Structure 1
């Protein structure tokens, strides 16, 4: 075979290989790209709804810009600001579905802590992490129009959005009060929700949550022990020694504060009877009680003196 013939065949093979690879790429199925976010001159809080009675068939949330896009099929039917988890309590990213819908749900973890007098002592109270003062109470945070996304409690619900465009929650996706009822009414169980942006995937999120739960348990145990030690110290500081005359036994076991064996004074106003001398004492031994001198009785009609007139 001539050299130029081999070169021609090599080039032909390269061309055929390129064509084959290109054809494979054409037939390879690719996931559809996420719909582009519409460009607006101004994203006015809290959002907008143009879907009428159409159902929301998918929700795309971007935690970097803190907005959720609402779709009915391929049609954008609304959008809303959101407030996802702060960096220390991030919202997981990935593909989720609405698992549960509860209109009047309250949190079983977060809320406010009050003391026995009703004074707010902790506005960010968490069960299992923080300790209430003696006699205090826990007031659960409201999670109205709750739409659950994960088994461990992440979901969408009404919540404060203090600075639109910034993260603010403990991991849930807060919704404005004017938009949450719309999402609740137009979604159903199973509606897909995609969360994108800077945040951990769900498996990393679960690992971080487990580590935080362990740290919270240790913090709670330490706070509980500290409170118990303080209560024991306070009780010890007010307790009286067994021989203290101010104690309930008077320091001698008879509750009088007097030497043991001393009879208590009567409380009915009577004079106590004299204490007889001990048995076997010699005659004339005085008793411990004071004695009264006995004088002869004076006759009622004394006899006349000798020589007196009759």
Structure 2
């Protein structure tokens, strides 16, 4: 009996060794949840709130409790961060341009500064400032932070000077389906608004100092250029006594050198003599 039990156990073990294992389940398909630039499924529904996450650079759009879309964006780089916290859309301007950032050109129309900022950079003499476009602008703060169309060179990475840049295909949708007063919550790694304002004030002070230094340097360069092209009063190649005698004039006779010149006397030709009338 005991031998039979041992033989049965050995037979069972050998069967288990040669039994085929069930095939592994196929891997789940990768879902492209965040395919650039975004998605809108809300139809004609209004956007009643937005959750903007600066860590993943994506915003989720809600109508009531329902998610009706999402979009990529590019928020501020670490040196120009986007403030975090609870905001509201304060203003909507479709064709807005920046009054701070843009491009700087010289007097010949050559681009000299592609990241020009008013109050920080100095235009060359005769140059011009071309403001950056901020189309479909939705203001979030009084000092200019907002959402608008802008370049997103690397989706998922920060790239702006503090604003939230939107893809050109998604910005019109957000603009159309939001209203002034729509709540916008900015989450993720970034300063709160009060800290942001303090940082902005410090940067403004540093920018003013940089601009003043640039103006002083430009003034010194202009003065040096003027000095290089002018002659000293005692230069033998220059006017004697510092007085220039205009062409066609001569100083008065007997006057000391350097005396002001007098204009030449104009000599008019004699008038022709009219012959007397002939007699009868």
Whether contact under 8 Å (1:253, 1:260) holds in the other structure is no
User: Taking structure 2 as the reference length, what is the TM-score of the superposition?
Assistant: 0.77
**Matches of residues 100-139 of structure 1 in structure 2 within 5 Å?**
100-139=91-130
Partner of 1:169: 160
| Structure 1 unaligned blocks of 5 or more | 1-38, 269-310
CA distance in 1, matches of 2:32, 2:233: 82
Q: Among residues 146, 163, 171, which one is paired with 1:155 in the alignment?
A: 146
SS at match of 1:45: coil
**Quick check: 1:74 aligned with 2:71?**
no
Higher alpha-carbon Rg: 1
Does the 8 Å contact 2:241/2:257 carry over to 1? no
Distance, in Å, in 2 between the alignment partners of 1:42 and 1:193 is 22
Deviation of the 1:66 alpha carbon: 0.2
Partner SS, residue 151 of structure 1:
coil
8 A contact 1:244–1:251 mirrored in 2: no
Structure 2: how far apart are the matches of 1:49 and 1:174? Answer: 17
Aligned mate of 2:47, from 50, 56, 73? 56
Q: 1:75 to 1:254 in 2, by over 3 A?
A: closer
**C-alpha distance in 2 between matches for 1:88 and 1:160:** 18
State the match for 1:260 in structure 2.
257
Q: Deviations over 1:238-297 (max 9, x none)?
A: 1111133433x3457363899828999x899xxxxxxxxxxxxxxxxxxxxxxxxxxxxx
- Computed over aligned residues only, the root mean square deviation of the Cα atoms, in angstroms, reads 2.5
Q: Deviations over 1:140-192 (max 9, x none)?
A: 00000000000000000000000000000000000000000000000000000
Is the CA contact (8 Å cut-off) linking 1:245 and 1:251 kept in structure 2? no
- Residue 227 (structure 1) aligned with residue 232 (structure 2): no
Distance, in Å, in 1 between the alignment partners of 2:198 and 2:242 is 63
Show the counterpart of 2:19.
none
- Aligned counterpart in structure 2 of residue 211 of structure 1, from 202, 205, 218: 202
Q: Higher relative CO (CA 8 A, sep ≥ 6), structure 1 or 2?
A: 2
Q: Determine helix, strand or coil for the equivalent of 1:145.
A: strand
Q: How many pairs were matched up?
A: 230
Would you identify which runs of 4 or more consecutive aligned residues in structure 1 move more than 3 Å? 39-42, 249-254, 256-259, 261-264
1:79 and 1:48 map into 2 onto residues whose CA distance is: 5
Matched, 1:46 2:46: no
Distance 1:179 1:72 in 2: 16
Is the CA contact (8 Å cut-off) linking 2:242 and 2:258 kept in structure 1?
no
Please list every run of 5 or more consecutive structure 2 residues that lacks an aligned counterpart in the other structure. 1-29, 267-280
